[in-house]
Amino acid sequence: MTGTDVARLTRNRNTPKRATLLELLFDLVYVAAFALLALRLAGSVTWHGVGGTVVLLMAVWWTWSITARVTDFYDPQKRPIEVVIATTMLGTALMTIAIPSAFTQHAAVFAGAYVGIHVVRGGVMVSTLHHARRRVARFQFWFGMSGILWIVGIFVGSPARAVLWTSALAVDFLSAAIRYPTPGLGRVPTEQYGRTSEHLAERYQQVVILALGDLTLIAALTFSRLGFDLARVVALVASFAMMLLLWQLYAYAGGVVSVLVSRRNPSTGPRLAPYTHFLMVAGVVAVAAGSRLVITRPTGHTPVGWVCVLFGGPALFLIGRTIFEYAFAGRLSRARVGWLIVLIVAAPSTTFLPPVFVTVLASVGMAGVAATDHLSTLGKLPRWLDPPASQQ
C-alpha cells in the first residue's frame, strides 16, 4: 500500500464527524454486555463478586474505548477499518456470552476473545498500513504483554486467574495513560491524540446513553416478572428518576466541554476520556444492579452490600463526572463535592431502612446535585459554592 493509500484511511477535514451506522451497530453489542454485568453484580454483592465484575467491566470497556479511538483516528467508512469494527463486534459478543461464568468454565472464551480482538486489529492495521507500522507496533507491544497474562490466566485456578487478569488490565490501562512507551520506538506523539475530537465526544455520549438505557431495561424486565405492588412501583419510579438525573448530570455541559477544551488542548480529551467515562459507566452498571435488587425485594432489611451499590453507583458516576469537568474545563464544582460527601456520609445510616427507602434517598441526593447544577447556570448559587473565579 502506498503512502497515498494510507493517507486515504486517515480521517481528514472532509470525513463526517458523526458516527457511522456500523459504529452505532457496534455500540449495540455493549447493551447486552452492560446488562449482563449489572445482573452479575446483582447476583453477588460481595467483595469477591464486585471485584470480579469490575475486572470484566474493565475488559469490556477497554475493547470499546480502543475501537472508538481507532475509528476516531482512521476513517470508519473505509473497508479495513470496517473489518476491525466487525471483528471487534464478534469478539465482544463472545466476551458478553461468557460474562456469567468468565472466571470458571468459560474463562478461555472470555480471555481468548479479548486477546483475539487486539491481535486481529493489530494484524489488519499492520497489513494495511505499511507506513504506520511504528504507530501500530507500540500498541501491539503492550497488548502482547497483557495478552500473555490473559492466556496464562486460563490455565490456573480462579484466585490466581483473577490476579493475572487484573494485572493484565493494569498493563492496558497504565500503558495507555503514559502513551505506550516502547523500546526503540518511544511514546505515541501527543499530537496524534488531537484528531477529530468532535467525533470522539459523540461516541462517548452515545455509550453513556446506551448504559443508561440498560438501567431502564433491567428495571422494567425485573418489574414485569414480579407484578405490581406499591413498594415495587415506588422502586421502579425511583429507578427511572435516577436514570434521568444521571443523564442530566452528564448532559450538563458534558459533550460540549470535551469538544471545546479539546480544541484548546488537543491531547487532553482523548487521553483522559476513557478513564473518566469508565467511572461513569461503572456507576450506571452499579445503579442498574441496585435497581434489580430493590425491585425484586423492596421491603425488609437492607444488607450493607446493597447500600454500597445503591449509594456507590451514583457516587461513582458523580466522581467521574466531576473529574471530567475539572480535567476538561478547569472547573471544580464545590457544590458537587459537597453532595458527594453527603452521599458518602449518609449511606451507613440507611442500613436500618427498607431497600425502597434507600433507593429513594439516593435519588433525592442526585436530585440535589441536578438542582445545584441548574442554580449554578442561573447564577443563583452562593458564591462560596461556585467554582473559583480563576477556573471559570
Residue tagged 490466581 (cell numbers): 160
Residue 391: what pLDDT?
A: 46
Residue 77: what pLDDT?
A: 85
Select from 271, 48, 71, 281 the least CA-distant residue to 173: 271
Q: Is the pLDDT of residue 329 over 80?
A: no
Residue 373: what pLDDT?
A: 83
387-392: average pLDDT: 49
- Own/partner pairs, 8-16, CB within 8 angstroms, 24+ separation: 8/75, 8/78, 9/74, 9/75, 9/78, 9/80, 9/81, 9/128, 9/129, 10/73, 10/74, 10/75, 11/72, 11/73, 11/74, 11/75, 11/195, 11/196, 11/199, 12/75, 15/75, 15/77, 15/196
Beta carbons of 241 and 367 less than 8 angstroms apart: yes
Residue 130: what pLDDT?
A: 63
Tally the C-alpha atoms within 13 A of residue 93's C-alpha that lie toward its C-beta. Answer: 10
Tens-digit pLDDT profile for residues 335-362: 889 999 999 999 999 999 999 999 999 9
Residue 192: what pLDDT?
A: 67
Tally the C-alpha atoms within 13 A of residue 143's C-alpha that lie toward its C-beta. Answer: 21
Please give the angle made by the CA atoms of 176, 108 and 292, to the nearest 5 degrees. 80
Residue 381: what pLDDT?
A: 66
Tens-digit pLDDT profile for residues 70-126: 888 788 888 888 999 999 999 999 999 999 999 999 999 999 999 999 999 888 887
190 vs 31: which has the higher pLDDT: 31
Select from 340, 252, 352 the least CA-distant residue to 303: 352
CATH of domain 197-391: 1.20.1410
pTM given for the model = 0.90
Tens-digit pLDDT profile for residues 188-220: 777 666 555 677 888 888 999 999 999 999 999
134 vs 386: which has the higher pLDDT: 134
For the chain, what is the mean pLDDT? 86
pLDDT bin (cut points 50, 70, 90) of residue 187 is: confident
Name the DSSP letter for residue 238: H
Residue 269: what pLDDT?
A: 60
Helix, coil or strand: residue 74: strand
Cell, residue 392: 471559570
Residue 52: what pLDDT?
A: 95
Residue 268: what pLDDT?
A: 63
Residue 114: what pLDDT?
A: 96
Select from 67, 82, 160, 155 the least CA-distant residue to 114: 67
Cell, residue 101: 461464568
14 vs 364: which has the higher pLDDT: 364
Tens-digit pLDDT profile for residues 149-179: 999 999 998 889 999 999 999 999 998 888 8
Per domain, the residue ranges of the chain are 3-188, 197-391
Tens-digit pLDDT profile for residues 305-317: 999 999 999 999 9
Residue 1: what pLDDT?
A: 45
- R_g of the chain, CA atoms, integer Å: 21
Which of 135-139, 257-261, 293-297 has the lowest average pLDDT? 257-261
Cell, residue 39: 445482573
Beta carbons of 239 and 295 less than 8 angstroms apart: yes
389 vs 375: which has the higher pLDDT: 375
Beta carbons of 39 and 159 less than 8 angstroms apart: no
